[in-house]
Amino acid sequence: DSGVTQTPKHLITATGQRVTLRCSPRSGDLSVYWYQQSLDQGLQFLIQYYNGEERAKGNILERFSAQQFPDLHSELNLSSLELGDSALYFCASSVGQGWGTEAFFGQGTRLTVV
């Protein structure tokens, strides 16, 4: 158990819909990261928040947005969903914010768009 909690574990939704994925970081961790893992694209970094502020942006689509709340939990919002958005979405957390800091991953949310 990494200490990072993601909900829900599985999500099935239709194209065009909007969903929200939730992440609770490890106690004491200020950084939260979101990743997408698909068969064709592999693991891709989406976005990082540190203590409530956006720190780095990766390959995140404009239809996707995220935020980190004062209690440090984070949400990833995916809208106008397409079949190609079907993937595993991971959240990770770490104490620090720079590349190289050890990050701990949650078990992921498997999103299926039908």
Partner 1 sequence: TQLLEQSPQFLSIQEGENLTVYCNSSSVFSSLQWYRQEPGEGPVLLVTVVTGGEVKKLKRLTFQFGDARKDSSLHITAAQPGDTGLYLCAGGSGGYQKVTFGTGTKLQVIP
Structure tokens at 101: 């800091």
Residue from 87, 108, 111, 113 touching partner 1 (CB under 8 A): that is 108
Residue from 48, 72, 81, 111 touching partner 1 (CB under 8 A): that is 48
Beta bridge partners of 34: 47, 91
Q: How far is the CB of 33 from partner 1 (least distance, A)?
A: 7
> Is 5 a residue that touches partner 1 (CB under 8 A)?
no
46 vs 78, beta carbon nearer partner 1: 46
The closest alpha carbon to 81, from 22, 12, 35, 33, belongs to 12
Cβ-proximal residues to 31 (8 Å cutoff; 6+ apart), any chain: 25, 48, 49, 50, 51, 55, 93, 94, 95, 96, 97, 101, 103
Structure tokens at 15: 């194209």
Beta bridge partners of 109: 89
Q: Which stretch binds partner 1 (CB under 8 A): 21-29, 36-44, 63-71, 72-80?
A: 36-44
Q: How far is the CB of 78 from partner 1 (least distance, A)?
A: 18
> Is 90 a residue that touches partner 1 (CB under 8 A)?
yes
Q: Which residues form the interface with partner 1 (CB under 8 A)? A: 2, 4, 33, 42-45, 48, 55-58, 90, 92, 98-100, 102-108
